[in-house]
Amino acid sequence: MHNILIINCSPRPGSNSGKVTKYLQALISAKGHTVTVKSFEGLEIRSIGAGYIQPEEVTPEQQDILDVLAAVKHVIWVIPEYNRGVPAEFLSFTHHFGTKKYPFIWNDKVHSVVGVSSGIGGREPIFHFAKAFNYLISDVNGVNCYVSAYSLQSINTQDNLDESGNFIGDQRYADNAAKFVDRFLGITTHV
């Protein structure tokens, strides 16, 4: 059994990404794994224009996420699509912490992604994530670190999940999510 981290990367309270996070947490917990959840809700990460965040400058809220990243081997990033891209907070997080000063984000780890939309979007976060994380792993010389090929696109999210992350919608949505979870858990043995 594994300890899986799910990070809700929406900065918005009551977000659809938060619903997806709760849904995946329930699906994975039901299979006997431990799930830790973290969120970017309200997370402040300064502009890279103010300089890279040095380890001694990390805020308690940022440290909370870094600590749990250091402790797990399997991470699912749940990222909303904003303007055919990703939220500024997620971009800033990767800019600041995608350096050799934070090797524990990369070493001995598998990262996977879920793209979230209220409509039929959600692909752009998946594309961006694969590109950015593969680049960062290479750039920081990450050891035994991988971006999972298995991703999930959460479309029409509010029609498929209620506020508590319970499934209420199209069976194809649930089938896709179940397939994603099974495939992701299937590769957890490799790291």
Ligand X SMILES: Cc1cc2nc3c(=O)[nH]c(=O)nc-3n(C[C@H](O)[C@H](O)[C@H](O)COP(=O)(O)O)c2cc1C
Give the footprint of ligand X on this chain (CB under 6 A): 10, 12, 15-17, 80-84, 116-119, 121, 157
| Residue 79 Cβ vs ligand X, minimum distance, rounded to whole Å | 8
Contact 44, 13 (CB under 8 A): no
| Residue 116 Cβ vs ligand X, minimum distance, rounded to whole Å | 5
**Rounded Cα gap, residues 64 and 27, in angstroms:** 24
Number of residue whose CB is nearest ligand X:
121
How large is the C-alpha radius of gyration of the chain?
Answer: 16
| Residue 179 Cβ vs ligand X, minimum distance, rounded to whole Å | 21
Identify each DSSP E strand in the chain by its residue range: 3-8, 34-39, 74-80, 109-116, 145-154
Tokens of 147: 């971006």
| Residue 7 Cβ vs ligand X, minimum distance, rounded to whole Å | 12
Contact 113, 129 (CB under 8 A): yes
Identify which of residues 118 and 188 has a Cβ nearer to ligand X in the complex.
Answer: 118
- For residue 35, give the H/E element and its range: strand 34-39
